[in-house]
Amino acid sequence: MTDSFNRSGASPPQKTIAPTYEGDFVLKEPLALECGRSLDCPTLHYAVYGRLNAARDNAVLVCHALSGSALVGSWWPEIFAPGAVLSLEHDFVICINMLGSCYGSTGPGSVNPETGEPFGPDFPLVSIRDNVRAQAQLLDSLGIRKLRLTLGGSIGGMQALEWSILCPGRVERALIIGVAPLGAMGLALNHLQRVAIEQDPEWEGGRYLPQKPPRKGLSLARQIGMISYKSAPLLEERYGRNPNRNGEDPWLEDRCGGLIGGRFDVAGYLDEQGRRFVERFEANSYLSIMRSMDTWDPLRGFGSAKEAFGRIKAKLSFVGISTDWLFPAEDVRLFAEAVRAAGANADYREMESSHGHDAFLAEQTELVRLLQ
């Protein structure tokens, strides 16, 4: 989940939808991972909204992004609006926290049953596909064989597509928003964030104590992330070359003598984003899920695009965001084309927005309009 927090208060506070149920599911067996390791009976934390009907054919799976949670009603409420994408009356909506996260599912902060200590840096690479396989077991346990829809933005979209590939008989429709396999610029941006955390001495090679996390490194990582989630025109419109709204003057020497001056407004905004993020997220979880994101390759293990995408039975819609530079719209369009060329039923839509990658969270009403 990326933030659309705006210090100017221009964005109205979002209403939040409470889940019908929020709980944990513990896998019955070790989860064999693509990297060759396994997780011993990991926990999936999940939330549901609405009720499963008798035919068990009204289930929808929402997949969250990097720092999101299972509480989709809190971070994506407008897709539940009457007549929007999801219906609290007719759908049974489930959202499952990704493995690696710090929001309830097994992650680097969880206890490693082999050692009795938190995993820390011993937490294995859990791929997008591994997540989907674990999620499928949770749905099995709920008696859900079929998803009327699965959807997600960013890494959530990776999961939605992976579901369509891995479990072709179980997915009727998938919405894949603002995502394609990460390109070199995206990999570069993630690398910079990783270095920012790694270089913080408080990170301690991943063995930091919960009460002494690498705040500075994670804050800088988040700030680097933020610029990739926002578009240059949006930053320009909101912050331009204004001095920081707290009164700092970039021409005055109020920090470290003359080398660092008062901040511009965009710098104050980024610092604030970093500060808020370290209050709510874990550095090791951030590293873990970034790695799931980096390594995602839907063709891995298949002989060809035809073999991978040709399996898909769901009707797919890909959504590119016009000003997204982390996952450029053109990349999403070409990816959709490649999937279609391989035999899947896939369309492509483009969301016109100045918000950049974040648009799927920041302009939910626009997104809903496009998806209808």
Query: By CB under 8 A, is residue 250 in contact with a copy of itself?
Result: yes
With contacts defined by CB under 8 A, name the span among 84-92, 167-175, 283-291, 308-316 that binds a copy of itself.
283-291
Instruction: Decide if 252 contacts 76 (C-beta within 8 A).
Output: no
Q: Residue 199 or 345: which CB sits closer to a copy of itself?
A: 199
Q: Residue 78 or 265: which CB sits closer to a copy of itself?
A: 265
The token pair that represents 268 in the structure block: 């104050």
3-state secondary structure of 351: strand
Query: By CB under 8 A, is residue 37 in contact with a copy of itself?
Result: yes
Look at residues 128, 140, 110 and name the one whose alpha carbon lies nearest to residue 41: 110
Instruction: Decide if 175 contacts 160 (C-beta within 8 A).
Output: yes
Distance CA 79, CA 369 (A): 10
Active site residues: 154, 324, 357
Which of 198, 272, 350, 366 touches a copy of itself by CB under 8 A? 198
Query: By CB under 8 A, is residue 252 in contact with a copy of itself?
Result: yes
Nearest-approach distance from CB 199 to a copy of itself, in angstroms: 5
CA distances (Å), origin 268, targets 4, 247, 248, 307: 15, 11, 9, 49
With contacts defined by CB under 8 A, name the span among 13-21, 32-40, 53-61, 154-162 that binds a copy of itself.
32-40
Q: How many residues contact a copy of itself, by CB under 8 A?
A: 68
Strand partners, 184: none
Ranges within 285-304 binding a copy of itself (CB under 8 A): 287-288, 291, 294-295, 297
Query: By CB under 8 A, is residue 362 in contact with a copy of itself?
Result: no
Q: Residue 41 or 188: which CB sits closer to a copy of itself?
A: 188
Strand partners, 175: 151, 317
3-state secondary structure of 54: coil
CA distances (Å), origin 178, targets 24, 203, 264, 331: 29, 31, 30, 9
Could you tell me the end-to-end alpha-carbon distance of the chain, in angstroms, rounded to an integer? 23
Which residues form the interface with a copy of itself (CB under 8 A)?
34-35, 37, 108, 120-125, 181-185, 187-189, 191-192, 194-196, 198-201, 205-206, 216-217, 220, 223-224, 227, 232, 235-236, 238-241, 250-253, 256-261, 263-267, 270-271, 284, 287-288, 291, 294-295, 297, 325, 328
